[in-house]
Structure 1
Amino acid sequence: MSKKILISCLEASANLHFSEVLQHLGECELVGIFDEKFGEPYMKSSEFSAMGFVEVLPLVLKAKRAIKQMVEFAKGCDAVLLIDSPAFNLPLAKAIKKAGIKTPITYYILPQVWAWKPKRVEIVERYCDNLASILPFDDKFYTRASYVGHPLLDELKFQKASLENSGEIAFLPGSRRSEITRLMPVYREVVKQISGKKILVVPPHLKDKIAEFYGDVSEFEISYDTPSTLQNSEFAFICSGTATLEAALIGTPFVLCFKAKAIDVWLARKLVKVRYAGLANIIFDFMGKPALHAELIQEEVTAENLLKAYKNCDKSVFLQGCKELRAYFKHGSSQNVAKMIKGE
């Protein structure tokens, strides 16, 4: 008999991770918030795309309405799967339990309480039944977390054994307009001073908005496939986010570049408790190891600094670190998450 599952996937990355879990779930009916490629959602994930403390404010009323409807859906579901996005998914979990609904809730990709908002631990453990952790050090903060593996080990089927000079350089300015518009002017300066093929990675959902979001891209070749572009590139310039961890797991040397609104960066520096912006560097810090890659934040993001990071990268040290990172994660997570949802 087919299971009915309430899904909450607000981010493109969450949908990517869910697609792997779905392969292990068997026949099921999906309701909730997710990408249209999985069926007909109540709301599309793209309706919640925002970055920073300021930009999320207009979404608050929409989120409240969505939570109310999602609670109604939960009453007729066999399971609930929440992926990442704690600002939405924690109030949703609380609302479901407060309504007296007994449907088991699985929270996949736990809130990063090691970075900020440690009080979220209590909320997650009170209102969620299954805590699916993707970071081995989560158990230092959560008492009920179960490490399920890391989703990128399911999604990235290849890993560089050595570093060749392919003549290709990748540029990833992010997936949100605010990220892209801040980084593209710097990237355009860099391409003029670097040889080889320059690949601009554009998320598939922005294929029709290149001129609007990216401006002049005449110096670049366009790619819509992040993993294969990183695999074929000898170096990458990457906005902070999941793509930095993808590059680290594939073995492509890179520099992290992050520019945001001044108010967002000021707030982050006040509130966030980790030393680094990149996920690979944060993980290495928890492992007691030095940073894996260079990071350039805010005013440091200049063409001169990006070129310096490119020229000074010790690729052999980087590649060894990438192997250590894969060993640390051990295995993928999708099959274990599917077992949690099915109660196995």
Structure 2
Amino acid sequence: MKYYIISGEASGDLHGSNLMKSILEKDTHAEFRFWGGDLMASVGGTLVKHYRDLAFMGFLEVIQNLRTILGNIKFCKKDIAQYQPDVLVLIDYPGFNLRIAQFAKSLGIKVVYYISPQLWAWKEGRVETIKKYVDEMLVILPFEQDFYKKHQVEAHFVGHPLLDAIHNLPPVDIEKFKTDNQLGKEDIIALLPGSRKQEVEKMLNLMLSVREHFKGYQFVIAGAPSLDTEFYKKFTDGQVHFVSNKTYDLLRCSKAALVTSGTATLETALLNIPEVVCYRSSKVSYEIAKRLVKHIKYISLVNLIMDREVVKELIQDELTTPNLIQELSLILSGERREKILQDYENLRHNLGDSGASDRAAELIVKL
């Protein structure tokens, strides 16, 4: 069968690649055409557009790039019409993907949504679009099934694909990792500032502002695959190191992490690394979001899934150097660190078993 898959960011590239591998096990003649990244490309098929050309952050940036976004939508529709896939698989990325779902449905193509947009947080009205144009809704967070049921949409909870990605990791040798990447002997504090230039510049300056207070540690930046090495050079010197495309290994070799809100907060937790969650956007974008987002208590997936504060979130005006110093100190040793590690065990239990990619692939192939 022919599969057309659309992912618009790094995490979608990871989950899309694992899904493609699972589909190939069940459909050995599968053909893929996709929007994604290097991980999906490594599985095979035709990469139409890379996610680094699609990611626009915040309301202002979207408005500034509206012509590009609309051009991409038009191109995508034409490409799908020419390819005529048996099924369209959409991975998160709702502003783009919901438009494409409607178009594909008009052509009689089966539509699967894998990894739900966060409609429980904002834009709940989009559920009506999903009800009309999506044949199978596959969700990865335990509370999402009940959310859709409330809206008379049958959603299948397949488990979280990050469990698959992390379950399949080979062991890591901490000392060898440090040597291979020209790092020092000190314990590592990992910095995960995001994947888009705009947010990385903003977050890294804040994260690095604390290093003088942690003399016994080395700070290591996790480079995003969407950004080249040259971009990070202005942030590195003799005391700050940089590792590219090895985020999971870096985390597993770290004592703690400062993490920009997003999928990385859950990845860090599942790898058992205490973290402080950081988030700051432009004042205009933040004020707009505050009015649009429903009354959810947390921004990190860790806290949302557990429905309580497991990891500290420093948001907007609370994201200051003194607050970062205080919260980072608390998770390096002592009771706070031990409590987080205990809570991580419960988090893994709540997410269920690994095998999300296989379960999703089975439903897609069956459809």
> How much does 1:176 deviate?
1.1
TM-score by length of 1: 0.90
Give the counterpart of 2:310 among 279, 285, 292: 292
Q: CA deviation at 1:217?
A: 4.3
Instruction: Find the aligned partners of 1:236 and 1:219 in 2 and give their Cα distance.
Output: 17
Partner SS, residue 5 of structure 2: strand
Question: SS where residue 89 of structure 2 aligns?
Answer: strand
1:342 maps to 2:365? yes
Deviation for aligned residue 1:342: 0.8
Partners of 2:16 and 2:68 in 1: CA distance: 23
Q: Which runs of 5+ in 1 are unaligned?
A: none
Identify if the C-alpha distance between structure 1 residues 334 and 83 changes in structure 2 by more than 3 Å, giving closer, same or farther: same
2:304 alignment partner in structure 1: 282
What is the CA-CA distance between 1:216 and the residue it aligns to? 4.2
The Cα offsets for residues 92-144 of structure 1, whole Å up to 9 and x where unpaired, read as 101222xx322211101112111011111111121000100001111222131
Q: 2:86 aligns with which of 74, 78, 90?
A: 78
Question: Are the counterparts in 2 of residues 159 and 250 from structure 1 also a CA contact under 8 Å?
Answer: no
> Is this contact kept in 1: 2:140–2:160, CA < 8 A?
yes
What CA distance in whole angstroms lies between the structure 2 residues aligned with 1:265 and 1:159? 40
Task: Describe how 1:149-298 pairs up with structure 2 within 5 A.
Answer: 149-157=159-167, 167-194=187-214, 195-211=216-232, 215-224=235-244, 225-273=246-294, 274-285=296-307, 290-298=308-316
- Rounded Cα–Cα distance in structure 2 between residues aligned with 1:235 and 1:42: 37
Query: Residues of 2 paired with 1:196 and 1:51: CA distance?
Result: 32
> What is the total number of aligned residue pairs between the two structures?
331
Aligned-pair distance for 1:73? Answer: 4.0
Alpha-carbon RMSD across the aligned residues, in angstroms, is: 2.1
Structure 2 unpaired stretches of 5+:
172-184
**Structure 1 pair 315/14, CA: closer, same or farther in 2 (3 Å)?**
same
Cα offset, 1:39, TM superposition: 4.2
217 and 180 in structure 1: CA distance in 2 versus 1, 3 angstrom threshold = farther
Aligned pair partner of 2:156 in 131, 134, 146 = 146
CA contact (8 A) 1:74 1:103 kept: no
CA pair 172-15 structure 1, distance change in 2 beyond 3 A? same
Q: Does 1:61 align with 2:67?
A: yes
Q: Helix, strand or coil: the match of 1:110?
A: coil
Cα pair distance change 1:217/1:166, threshold 3 Å: closer
Quote the sequence identity (%).
Answer: 32
Tell me how far apart the structure 2 counterparts of residues 283 and 296 of structure 1 sit (CA, whole Å). 18
Give the partner amino acid of 2:243: S
**Displacement after TM superposition at 1:276 (Å):** 1.0
TM-score using structure 2 length:
0.85
Which sits farther off after the overlay, 137-146 or 27-36? 27-36
